Amino acid sequence: MKSSTIKVVIDSTLGPAEKGIKKFKRLCEAAGILKEYKKRKEYKKPSIRKKEKLEAAQKRKVKEARKSRRGGKF
C-alpha cells in the first residue's frame, strides 16, 4: 500500500483555529485517511469483504438503472 505524507501548518495569526481545524479535516477526507481508518478498525474475513463488494456493486447498478429510467433532465 502506498503511504503519503501531508504536512499541515495551522497558523493562528491568520485567523481562528477553528478555520484551520476545518481545513485539516477537509485535507484528511481528501487524502482518504478516515476511509482507511474505518477500513482497518476491525478485521473482516476476505469472504465477507467480497460479499460486501458484490452487494455494493449491485446497489450501484440498481441506482444507475433508476437514474436512466427517470430520463436525464440535466
CB-CB contact of 24 with 8 (8 Å):
yes
Give tens-digit pLDDT for 34-64.
888 888 899 999 999 999 999 999 999 999 9
Task: Tell me the whole-structure pTM to 2 decimals.
Answer: 0.48
Domain residue ranges of the chain, discontinuous segments joined by +: 1-42, 43-74
Question: What spatial distance separates the first Cα and last Cα of the chain, rounded to whole Å?
Answer: 38
| Axis crossing angle, helix 17-31 with helix 33-41, rounded to the nearest 10 | 70
